[in-house]
Structures are given as C-alpha cells and as structure tokens.
Amino acid sequence: MSSDSSSAAGDGGEQAVSAAGTSAGYDKQKEKARVSRTSLILWHAHQNDAAAVRKLLEEDPSLVHARDYDKRTPLHVASLHGWIDVVNCLIEFGADVNAQDRWKNTPLADAEGARKQKMIELLKSHGGLSYGQNGSHFEPKPVQPPIPKKCDWEIEPAELDFSNAAMIGKGSFGEIVKAYWRGTPVAVKRILPSLSDDRLVIQDFRHEVDLLVKLRHPNIVQFLGAVTERKPLMLITEYLRGGDLHQYLKEKGGLTPATAVNFALDIARGMTYLHNEPNVIIHRDLKPRNVLLVNSSADHLKVGDFGLSKLIKVQNSHDVYKMTGETGSYRYMAPEVFKHRKYDKKVDVFSFAMILYEMLEGEPPFANYEPYEAAKHVSDGHRPTFRSKGCTPDLRELIVKCWDADMNQRPSFLDILKRLEKIKETLPSDHHWGLFTS
C-alpha cells in the first residue's frame, strides 16, 4: 500500500471514529435532555402550572406519558393535588387516565386517597378507574401472605399483651402502641384490619420488615419480630422510653452545642451505617419524630421508622436514582425531592442539616411557614436564618455544607462524623453526657 493510500485509509478510520464519538455524544446529550424534560413536566404538574405543561407538550407530545422512578405520570402528580387545569391539559394531549404506577395505583386512586372530590368526578367522566390502595385491585387473584415462610422472628399474636397498651402514634394505615411481649415493653406498629388485604399496604409493610431484619446497629431501632400470618399485621420493635426528638425539643427548646453535637453524632453513626455501600439504605424521612431517645436522660439516640426507606444496590458510588418526588416530610425535605428530580442518599444529609439546625435554634426550620410552603421556600433557594449564639462557626459551616443546593457538594455521613468529632473536642461537655464521653 502506498503512503498516500495508507494516509487516506488512516483519515477514513479517524473520520469513522470521530463520527462514532459524535454519535455517542449526541445520544448521551439527547438522553440527558429527555430526562431533564421528564423532570420538568413532573415538576410543572406538581406546581399547578398548566401553561408550562402545555408548552412542554406542544414541543414534545410524548411527555404526556413521562414516568418517574416509581412509574408515576404527570397525571398521577396533578390528580393527587387536585389541579383541574393541569389534568384537563394532560387529558387533551392523550394522557392515559388509567396509567398505573408501580403500586398499581391509577390517578383516580390518588385523587380518592387525597379526597379531591372535583378531581374524582373529572377523572371518572373520562373513564377513570380506581385500582391500588383505594379501589378494587387491578389483579383479581387473592393477595398472598406478605411473608409466607415461617421465620425465626414470626411472633404469635397471643404472645403480645395489649391489656395496658398505650398509644404512641397514629397514621392513615394503622397505629403504634406500647404493649408487652413476654413481659418486655415493646413498640407495636399495627396495621388496621380493614387494610390488611390492601396490596399497597402489604407491600409497604413487607418492605419495612425486610429492611429491618437486615439492620443491626446501636443507633438503629432494633427489630424484634413481626406478625405476618394473622390479622392484623404487626411489626414489633424495641420500646424506647425517652420518646422522640420532636417532643424533646418542644419541651427543652434549643440545646447546648455539646448536647446537640452528641445527639448529632448518634444520628450520624446510624446514618453512616445505613449509607454503607454497596447496599445503601436511603431513609427518605429523616426528621425529629423518627429519631428516638433511649431513656429520659437522653444519653443515647436511635434512628427509626423505615416505612419510606429504599434499599438500593449501588454499582457506582455516584449513582443517582429517579425516585418518588415529595417522599417524606416537607419541612425536612431536600429540594431535589420536592422538585421531582433525580436524587441519591444525600437527601438524608440535607434532612440531617435541618435537624441539627433545629437542635441548636430550638425551633423547626422556617417555623412560621406551613410545611409545604417551607419546602417550596427551600426549593426556591432559601435557607433558615441562624440566630442562636450557641451555633458555633464550625457547626454553622457544617450545616451550610449539608444543606447545599447541589447534592454533590454535601458531605457523606462518614465525613460528617469526622467533622463532629473534631468539633466535639473544642466544646465543654455537658454533665449528663459525662459517662459516655472519653
């Protein structure tokens, strides 16, 4: 082969490689743009911005079928909030009124769950059917027992003594009561009998049991067993006499820096364990009510309530996931969750920052806002104001890092632990923590 022909062949090869690279780059860019538009339409549907939703659909009609990690469509989001104009626009562009999310819920099931009467009537007028949590299930076959295999931790209901039961908390799916198991006080999460056949409730219950079985750590509430073969379904954990951090802060107000740091260390230890790769557990609802005090002396804290947690196998330490937006409690919610954007374990770091702020300031972040408005304010870039003299410069710097708008800039809980240990060395210890400090 002559040098000319060799050169020409080389040029052709380079051009082919270049073209392939350009094509790959274009595909990557195209995929990035598609993901961005998906997030946008979900966000605008959530914000009740019918004009923005219409503009996006005029540019790309296929976005009417956009779905997030949990297979929820813009119609699911708008129906849940009762946004009539947005739903009319989506239906006009051909939205599937009976689209099902991963729990088999339709938009109508969401509207019924949120008791949006006008939305219920609108969706029914367009042929909307109710599956999932609030309606007849899509699959007529009987629901299998949550965990049919007899396990070491399966508890016989007769072993639980409710004769002196005391209510700890109540929710839409059930209640948490203090009871006794073989003479030991325990916390029992009891699913309402009327919901014991509900697919979504069973799935969430089973998911929480499956998670708790795997967890073993001094700063994580200890799982003792569950009732899965009889009704009502029950989940049994250790009973912590000190109550929750929410109630403690309500009574005590702002904590001293030393106490706040010791509390924060316990929370961070539990969260470091949960965030350990490759099997990362994202809590997604870290808030004072879900942080429990072992006793009235408040000398040890544990993280609890894993009803909204996600267990994710991490292939890459920088993996982010498209999960359900608006999961958790608005006041402590990371902006990327509120905006229905991709997120990772750093959402828990944001919530931790809000809790640490509350411990030092003695009041919840944006206490003068309703929870939803507080989350919206945060998503617009605002952060709570530091007023307490007890918030040292080091603690303030850590909080600001942890609630950074860019989740990639937030430290890991392992880094947070190291920072807190250093800060602790500079602070005088509180008396009642003396036994636990070296």
pLDDT class for 53, splitting at 50, 70, 90? very high
CA distance to 97, 125, 397, per residue, from 369 (Å): 34, 37, 24
Residue type at 211 in one-letter notation: L
Residues 351, 332 contacting (CB under 8 angstroms) = yes
Q: Identify the pLDDT of residue 334.
A: 93
Q: pLDDT value at position 410?
A: 97
Residue that terminates a domain, selected from 189, 210, 238? 238
Residues 233 and 249 in one domain: no
User: Could you tell me the pLDDT band of residue 343, with boundaries at 50, 70 and 90?
Assistant: confident
- Is the pLDDT assigned to residue 55 strictly greater than 90? yes
pTM score, two decimals? Answer: 0.65
Last residue of a domain, one of 188, 213, 238: 238
Query: Does 418 map to a domain?
Result: yes
Q: Give the total number of structural domains in the chain.
A: 3
> Quick one: pLDDT band at residue 1, thresholds 50, 70, 90?
very low
**Predicted confidence (pLDDT) per residue in 198-231, tens digit:** 777 777 788 888 888 888 899 999 999 999 888 8
Residues 431, 293 share a domain: yes
Give the CATH number of the domain where residue 107 resides: 1.25.40.20
121 and 209 both lie in a single domain: no
Judge whether 24 lies within some domain.
yes
Q: Give the span between the Cα atoms of 266 and 356, in whole angstroms.
A: 12
> Is residue 152 a part of any domain in this protein?
no
CATH code, domain with 207: 3.30.200.20
CA distances from 145 to 49, 224, 435 (A): 42, 20, 47
| 382-389, Cβ contacts within 8 angstroms, sequence gap of 24 or more | 384/354, 384/357, 386/357, 386/361, 387/361, 388/254, 388/360, 388/361, 388/362
In a domain, 142, yes or no: no
Q: Are residues 275 and 410 in the same domain?
A: yes
Query: In the predicted model, what is the mean pLDDT of the chain?
Result: 81
Residues of the domain holding 31 = 18-134
Among the residue ranges 9-23, 73-87, 372-386, the one predicted with the least confidence is 9-23
Which of 238, 272, 299 corresponds to the end of one domain? 238
Name which residue leads in pLDDT, 298 or 369.
369
Pairing state between β 184-191 and 223-227: unpaired
Judge if 317 and 377 occupy the same domain.
yes
The answer to whether residue 10 is domain-embedded is no
Q: What is the 3-state secondary structure (H, E, C) of the chain?
A: CCHHHHHHHHHHHHHHHHHHHHHHHHHHHHHHHHHHHHHHHHHHHHCCCHHHHHHHHHHCHHHHHCCCCCCCCHHHHHHHHCCHHHHHHHHHCCCCCCCCCCCCCCHHHHHHHCCCHHHHHHHHHCCCCCCHHHCCCCCCCCCCCCCCCCCCCECCHHHEEEEEEEEEEECCCEEEEEEEECCEEEEEEEECHHHCCCHHHHHHHHHHHHHHHHCCCCCECCEEEEECCCCCCEEEEECCCCCEHHHHHHHHCCCCHHHHHHHHHHHHHHHHHHCCCCEEEECCCCCHHHEEECCCCCCCEEECCCCCCEEEECCCCCCCECCCCCCCCHHHCCHHHHCCCCECCHHHHHHHHHHHHHHHHCCCCCCCCCHHHHHHHHHCCCCCCCCCCCCCHHHHHHHHHHCCCCHHHCCCHHHHHHHHHHHHHCCCCCHHHHHHCC
Task: Tell me if 429 is assigned to some domain.
Answer: yes
Q: Are residues 250 and 373 in the same domain?
A: yes
Question: Which CATH number does the domain housing residue 301 bear?
Answer: 1.10.510.10
pLDDT in tens, 4-47: 444 444 444 444 444 545 555 555 565 556 557 888 898 889 88
Does the pLDDT value for residue 355 go beyond 90? Answer: yes
189 carries a ligand binding annotation: yes
Q: Is the pLDDT of residue 430 over 90?
A: no
Clarify whether residues 363 and 260 are in a common domain.
yes
pLDDT tens, residue by residue, 127-184 = 998 875 443 333 333 334 444 455 778 999 999 999 999 988 776 677 889 999 999 9
Please give the pLDDT value at position 23. 54
Percent of the chain with pLDDT over 90: 49
Does one domain contain both 303 and 275? yes
Question: Does 9 fall in a domain?
Answer: no
Identify whether 285 is a catalytic site residue. Answer: yes
Same domain, 95 and 186: no
Q: Confidence class of residue 3 from pLDDT cuts 50, 70 and 90?
A: very low
Of the candidate ranges 9-18, 70-79, 275-284, the one whose mean pLDDT is the lowest:
9-18
Do 180 and 129 reside in the same domain of the chain? Answer: no
Range of 124-133, 197-206, 279-288, 315-324 with top mean pLDDT? 279-288
266 with 204, same domain?
A: no
Residues 418 and 311 in one domain: yes
Please identify which of the residues 110, 244, 285, 344 carries the catalytic annotation: 285
- Which residues make Cβ contacts (< 8 Å) with residue 173, sequence separation at least 6? 191, 192, 195, 201, 204
pLDDT above 50 for 297: yes
Binned at pLDDT 50, 70 and 90, residue 58 comes out as: very high
Residue 44 in any domain: the answer is yes
